Structure formats: C-alpha cells, structure tokens
Amino acid sequence: MAFVASERPEAQFARSKLISKYGSVPESEADVIVALGGDGFMLETLHSDLTRRIPVYGMNQGSVGFLMNDYEVEGLPERIAAAGRAVIHPLQMDAWTESGEVQSGLAINEVSLLRQTRQSAKLRISIDGKVRLEELSCDGCMVATPAGSTAYNLSAHGPIIPLDARVLALTPISAFRPRRWRGALLPHQARVTFEVLEPDKRPVSAVADSMEVRRVARVEVRERRDVALTMLFDAGRSFEERVLSEQFTG
C-alpha cells in the first residue's frame, strides 16, 4: 500500500498513523493507493494516477467524502481485500480559445462552461455534429459523468446517474433562455460541442475538474472509454448503493 494525504492536518496525522502501523511503499510500486482527504483529493489522486491506473481506496479526512470510505486504522488490509471496484471513464475536453490556441484535459467529474463576467453566457450546443440548441442563455452548462453526477451536476439540479448506465448528463447552470430547458441525458459515446456566442461581450471559461481555460470560443467533450480508473469501496457500501441512497435523502 502507498499512503497519500491532502494538506489538511488531520489527513497528514492519519497518514503518519497508518504508515507507522502498516508501512508504505512508493506509489510507483504499490498495488493500491490509500488516499486520505475529501472528494477533491480523491480526484487529485486519480488524476495523478492516469499512467499506471492503480486502484485507489479513499478514507474520509475531508468534508463531504461521498467518494470516500470511513476512516478506521484497524483491519485495513482486510477491508481493501473485500472491497468492491467501481470503474470510471473520464471525459476528454478540447478547448479552443479566442486566439486559436487549443488546450486539452481530462475530467473525472464534469466539464463545465462558465460565464466570466456579469453578462450571461450564450452557447450553441451540438451533439454529434447536429445543432440541438441554437442558443442557451445561462450562467453556464456542463457535461457530467455518472461518477460526477452527484457533485456539481446535482447542485445544478441535474440527474443522478448509476455508474453502469452508460449515459452522460448535459445540465444547464441557471438557464435564462429557454427557461423550461432542464438539460438532457446523452449516450455515453456522444460528442458534445459548445460554441460561445458573442465571446467578446460574454467571455466564457471551460473547466475540466480543476483545469481551467479562459476565454474559450469552442469546446468539444467526449468520453474516453480507453481510460479506466478504479475506485475501491467497502463491502456493502458500493458506489452504486451510495448513488441509490442519495436519491432518497432530503
């Protein structure tokens, strides 16, 4: 096991305690990475593990902890051995700036387009090359993975998606026009293109998890089925169970 922790003092203390009990190996030599922190740190750990794609077992030493297991020092090897696997596929974001520069990134939760100023954003949305929404006036719009459907997507009143549903959520953020549009569920292989209308007057940024590109003109989003990342969850507390439970909480 390799133990990694966020900068929070409680996470660093937990890491020291676990290493003193179980020892630790470098991440490059590990069979499993134990991540101590919150959901944000779990995403950071998965992003840093894109090359080797080692399974990650998270323990909550943060705030929300939806993607994390409960923290407990005793019996960790047994918990990991009995853990279930959740395989997720990130989104590829390719963003063209107003100057013509292209920047790309991977998003485990969502790709978001957000207005940069007090002016609302105006976006044209195409799916697989066909324009589906000629003009969306909004604070922004996002494409969320099933893993990310319980994060920002849920806060924007998007749907919660089971991990094996093979669909993506297209969710507006504070849509002004058309008022009644609440988003769409898309096949996981769909390619989504956002075109920014009136970019000089209404600048827009694009964000793939924590990577931000400012003043974008066009953004394309697609799922990367060739990239598979694995999270481990305690027996009886699978990701699917958490998603189901989340839909019955107030």
Count Cβ atoms within 10 A of the Cβ of residue 14 and give its class: 0-12 exposed, 13-18 middle, 19 or more buried.
Answer: buried
- φ, ψ of residue 73 to 5 degrees: the values are -75, -45
* 39 flagged as catalytic: yes
Residue found under tokens 């998965």: 46
222/112 Cα distance (integer angstroms):
13
Count Cβ atoms within 10 A of the Cβ of residue 230 and give its class: 0-12 exposed, 13-18 middle, 19 or more buried.
Answer: middle
Secondary structure (3-state) at 172: strand
pTM (two decimals): 0.88
Class of domain 91-223: mainly beta
Residues of the chain with CATH 3.40.50.10330: 2-88+228-246
CATH 3.40.630.30 fits 2-88+228-246, yes or no: no
Provide the pLDDT for residue 94.
98
Residues of the chain with CATH 2.60.200.30: 91-223
Q: Which of 39, 49, 94, 209 is catalytic?
A: 39
Residue by residue, pLDDT tens for the chain (250 residues) are 999 999 999 999 999 999 999 999 999 899 999 999 998 899 999 988 777 889 999 999 987 778 899 999 999 999 999 999 989 999 999 999 999 999 999 999 999 999 999 999 999 999 999 999 999 999 999 999 998 998 899 999 999 998 888 999 999 999 999 988 999 999 999 999 999 999 999 999 999 998 999 999 999 999 999 999 999 999 888 778 877 787 787 6
Provide the pLDDT for residue 16.
97
Do residues 86 and 165 touch, judged by C-beta distance below 8 A?
Answer: no
Rg (CA), the chain: 19
Tell which residue, 8, 55, 16, 62, has the closest CA to residue 39: 62
How do the residues of the chain divide into helix, strand and coil, expressed in percent and rounded to 5? Answer: 20, 40, 40
The residues, ordered by sequence, that sit 6+ positions from 90 with a Cβ below 8 Å of its Cβ are 106, 107, 108, 145, 223, 224, 227, 229
